[in-house]
Every structure is written in C-alpha cells, then in structure tokens.
Amino acid sequence: MSIFTRFPGAVCGAALAFASLPAAKAAETNIAVAANFADVVREVGAVFEKKTGHKTIFSFGATGQLFTQISQGAPFDVYLSADQTTATKAGADGFGVADSQFTYAEGKLVLYSKNKDAVTGEQTLKDAKFQKIAIAAPGAAPYGAAAVETMKKLGIYENLSSRIVEGQNIAQTFQFVETGNAEVGFVALSQIVANNEGSRWIVPGNLHTPIKQDAILLKRGEANVAAKEFLAFLKGAEAAQIKEKYGYGPGL
C-alpha cells in the first residue's frame, strides 16, 4: 500500500495548503520622471507592468522642479533626472540611496520647426529669420541649458536672447513650437522621432555637454521591490530597444 493510499487526508490537506499559498505580491512605485522622457517611460512601464505585475505611477516635470519636490518630501521612490548633476545632488543631499545612481539614457538636442523649410542647419540660427525661438528653462531643464550652450558656442546667443521664449520644461517648449507661439525651438529628438513633418537639425554633440540622464533610487524606495525591479528593468535589453526607438542612446 502506498503512502498516498494510507494517508489520503494528509496528502489532500498538504495539497490544499500549497495551493492556498499567496503568489508573489505585486507592488507599486512612484517615479519622478524628467518631462523629455515621458513617452519612453510610459512604454517601458507598460512592458514592465505586464512582465512583473507591479504598478508604476509616473509624475512628469522639469528636472529642477522635481528635485525641489523631492527635497520637500514628495513621495517618490525613484528619480529619473534629465541630467547627471541633479541626480548626483539628490544623492549627496541624502535623498538617494548610495551607489544606486546610473546613466539610463543619453538625449539628443534638435532644432525643430513645423515649417518644412524653416530649419536647414546651424545657418538657420545665424540667419535668424524668425521672431521667436523656444527653449526649455535652462535653470531647470538640461535641454534648455544645452540649447543656451549651443547658441553661445556658435556665437549667436546675444543676438537671439531677445527672441527666446522659455517653457517650464521640454514638453511645454515643444508645445510652443507645435502651436506656433515660436517658429522654431530646441526640443528633444524623442519628441519628434516618430514625426516626419516639419524640418529639423540634430545638434552636433560637440556644441554642448552630452545630455546624459541619470537615475537614482530614492531613500523612500529603498525597501520597495517594485522600485528596485523597475530600475533593473530600465538597464536591460528590452528597455534599451524602446529607448533607441525614441531616439535615445541606452546609457550605462
């Protein structure tokens, strides 16, 4: 007689106990994300949620504004900055987890216009046949700082300064161009990579400091499994393919 025949109740009870064990518990994480990375992170987040069951909640804004919110106690677990400096500051000021910072993407700056004939290269800036040029606020948004750096390196910043309109972040800057409030503007390649309309000039990397975007796990997320797994996923091959599709270098 087998043990299963002799003790059917015990076997059944053990099977029921095993079946009732809870599955790995899904968690959720609140992530502060630089506005330029919004479309990318939404897609990355959707794939991550499908694979893990965790929930991602994103808040978008200018890098500097998000840092201010973090410093004032905003309930974020992860910070995806649009530069390296601000993420480093988050760590140095005690808001980030030591050794968790890494470069998750490298952005590309583009001079863009809805007019298909407006942008032909750096000469567009030198000729200045426009009334307004949009940039993100350079004090808060790294793409805005890169735009100013580009214009200064080309020796045209002083001539164009009176024509500059500033968006609070790169998303608002793009809207200025899209709505015609500015004929041209410095935007992120990710915002127009899927759009073949208009005209554009991808600014050469030697005209500004590389836009390396760093992530850091915040102290609030140190024990959050969803936060840590999201950052690990952001480093992986699936996320890299999505980043490339949107015009970003993979980072790391």
Instruction: Name which CATH class applies to 108-207.
Output: alpha beta
Give the homologous superfamily in CATH for domain 28-106+211-245.
Answer: Periplasmic binding protein-like II (3.40.190.10)
What number of other Cβ atoms are within 10 A of residue 9's Cβ? 7
Which pLDDT value is given to residue 151? 98
- CA-wise closest residue to 125 among 170, 159, 172: 159
How high is the mean pLDDT of the chain? 90
Angle at 140 between CA 231 and CA 161, to 5 degrees: 140
> Does residue 21 have a pLDDT over 60?
no
Q: Would you give the DSSP letter of residue 250?
A: -
Mean pLDDT of 59-70: 95
28-106+211-245 and 108-207, same CATH topology? yes
Closest alpha carbon to 207 in 154, 161, 156:
154
Element (H, E) at 93: none
**Helix, coil or strand: residue 23:** coil
Per-residue pLDDT reduced to its tens digit, 25-52: 789 999 999 988 999 999 999 999 999 9
Percentage above 70 pLDDT, the chain: 90
What's residue 24's pLDDT?
55
Q: What is the pLDDT of residue 10?
A: 41
Contact assessment for residue 140 and residue 36, using Cβ atoms and an 8 Å cutoff: no
Taking the C-alpha atoms of residue 130 and residue 232, their distance in angstroms, rounded to an integer, is: 45
Q: Work out the average pLDDT over 70-86.
A: 96
Whether 22 has a pLDDT exceeding 60, the answer reads no
Q: Is the pLDDT of residue 17 over 80?
A: no
Burial class (CB in 10 A: 0-12, 13-18, 19+), 12: exposed
Segment 148-174, tens digit of pLDDT: 999 999 999 999 999 999 999 899 999
Confidence (pTM)? 0.74
CA distance 188 to 73: 29
The domain segmentation of the chain, as residue ranges, is 28-106+211-245, 108-207
Short-list 40, 39, 176, 35, CA closest to 114? 176
**What confidence score (pLDDT) does residue 203 get?**
97
